[in-house]
């Protein structure tokens, strides 16, 4: 049986949503992810903008501002739930590791 869409997030998805807890644009996301992960996760424009399109289509983020080609986004209520759900899932994985 196929896993429901966006039930489990990739690292790039997780960090993108984490960045979008506050309003920012795609270029800001790429820089923030790189900095917060000490260059462990580096996102290019194709990945970043594809994720933003997917998240918009799913109602996980909303566009907040357009200035020329620069578009800014922020999490919706569904986005906050998605990010929190992934965080809780990761905590369970860590706890399983510690237990076994």
pLDDT of residue 76: 98
Pairing type for strands 70-75 and 61-67 reads antiparallel
1 occurs within a structural domain: no
Instruction: Collect all residues with Cβ–Cβ distance below 8 Å to 17 and sequence separation of at least 6.
Output: 9, 55, 60, 61, 75, 79, 82, 83, 86
61 occurs within a structural domain: yes
DSSP 7-34: SS--HHHHHHHHHTTS-EEHHHHHHHHH
What confidence tens digit (pLDDT) does each residue in 17-42 have?
999 999 999 999 999 999 999 999 99
pLDDT of residue 1: 46
Structural domains of the chain, count: 1
**Neighbouring C-beta atoms of residue 12, cutoff 10 Å:** 18
Provide the percentage of residues in the chain whose pLDDT is more than 70.
94
Query: What CATH code is carried by the domain that includes residue 40?
Result: 1.10.10.10
69 occurs within a structural domain: yes
5 occurs within a structural domain: no
What confidence tens digit (pLDDT) does each residue in 69-92 have?
899 999 999 999 999 999 999 999
Residue 58: is its pLDDT beyond 60? Answer: yes
Q: Which domain holds residue 72?
A: 11-99
23 occurs within a structural domain: yes
Residue with tokens 């790429």: 30
pLDDT of residue 27: 96
34 occurs within a structural domain: yes
3 occurs within a structural domain: no
pLDDT of residue 4: 57
pLDDT of residue 2: 42
pLDDT of residue 60: 98
Residue with tokens 């290019």: 44
Instruction: Collect all residues with Cβ–Cβ distance below 8 Å to 75 and sequence separation of at least 6.
Output: 17, 20, 21, 60, 61, 83
4 occurs within a structural domain: no
């Amino acid at each position: 049986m196929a896993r429901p869409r966006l039930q489990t997030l990739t690292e790039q998805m997780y960090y993108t949503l984490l960045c979008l807890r506050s309003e920012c644009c795609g270029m800001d996301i790429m820089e923030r992810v790189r900095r917060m992960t000490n260059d462990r996760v580096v996102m290019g424009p194709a990945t970043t903008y594809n994720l933003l399109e997917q998240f918009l289509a799913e109602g996980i983020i909303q566009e907040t501002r357009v200035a020329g080609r620069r578009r800014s986004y922020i999490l919706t209520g569904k986005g906050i739930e998605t990010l929190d759900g992934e965080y809780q899932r990761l905590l369970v994985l860590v706890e399983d590791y510690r237990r076994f």
